[in-house]
Chains A and B, each alone.
Chain A
Amino acid sequence: MTSALKNIIYNCRQATFLIEKRIAGKITAAETLQLHVHLAGCSVCKIYQQQSILINKVFVGFGNADFKLDEAFKKTLTEKIEKEINKN
């Protein structure tokens, strides 16, 4: 067994690092194999991976429409714009 493979079997720090790298970018074929071997034997990191993907979904899915400006702020903003226009 290569030392890289041996290292990762028990190394959750490295495994979670590779999980993040795979989700947000890409990892090499060797790293994919290492991660595969680790996850096959580590239920804790499997939970981590599920939750990590879930966090991204929730983060991105927080729709723009959930946020509304209050009317008072809009009124002030309109007045500021009118003032700017009248300057010219």
Chain B
Amino acid sequence: MNDSKKHTVKEVRLMKGNEAIAHAAVRCGCDGYFGYPITPQSEIMETLMELEPWNTTGMVVLQAESETASINMVYGAAGCGKKSMTSSSSPGISLMQEGISYIACAELPCVIVNVMRGGPGLGTIQPSQADYYQSVKGGGHGDYKLITLAPASVQEMADYTVLAFELAFKYSTPSLILADGVIGQMMEKVILPPFQPRMTEAEIREKCPWATLGKTADRKPNIITSLCLQAEQMEAINLRLQKKYRDIEDNEVLFEEFSCEDAEYIIIAFGTTARVCQKAVEMARVEGIKAGLLRPITLFPFPTTAISNYADRIKAMLTVEMSAGQMVDDVRLAVNGRIPVEFYGRLGGIVPSPDEVLKALKDKIVIK
């Protein structure tokens, strides 16, 4: 993703991750943003308001009365085949869970952005990754999954906004961008994606035949609902959803490796923590420790096979998260007891430092 050197200085911008999401949304032809402010992601709506896309692309930007209203506005817009999105931070995302479950069941495409902060409860406004379980294990009720993308740079905030919409429409399912306060707030270089026009009504009718844009004489009414009182029918819906999730697992796994070729120890981390761990790996290499980093980019689908393959080649793994240890469960399932998988984490809004990670790597796995 980091190919900024190929471009001229003019095309390269310096902005916050939150701002990059807003720019990318307008540029990829988003039809509507509905949200409610909360730190550390308020710049998303703020930037959209500054960009005034309703004057250029015609995109709607609306501050709803609550997060619950936002997600249900997204549900309504998505039902019309519109590219719609919302964003919030941890407590706000919790409020949205009912709506997210409805949208997943109704099989509608949309993008949800969670710029995580320290919890539980209202918690802090500092960075955290403690919403991993909520994001990939359900969050709301019922058997559903969200395609979950974990950006680790401002460039990826822009790129994955575009990708999240593509995947949402490809599978007719909600996509989640799971970022944290660091990536939302920090400024880095970014090359924004090219402008794509918003879909016309004719294009929506063609690409989303289920959309409720008004019935034409040649078809039955489109009904969008997540209510189905016949258990047999509801099971059929569930089986269809599960098949879709297996397709996503087969086709959409993304991850990045750093110094893994000859590694004896591999750190698994995502988002900001992966950046910190990359530095720890650089420091470990200077000390002669053969360390590597595997960064899951999609958290669902999880890079289970890639991690499993390393378990036959290396001595041990360390999972590092800004949580009490959530993704480590999925790493352990992938490794299935073949090698030790240790955990190091900081909680409540503290970002681990590269030195701490290096120390944890040595204390927990190298010395053992």
Q: Do A and B come from one complex?
A: no
**Residues on B close to A: CB < 8 A?**
none
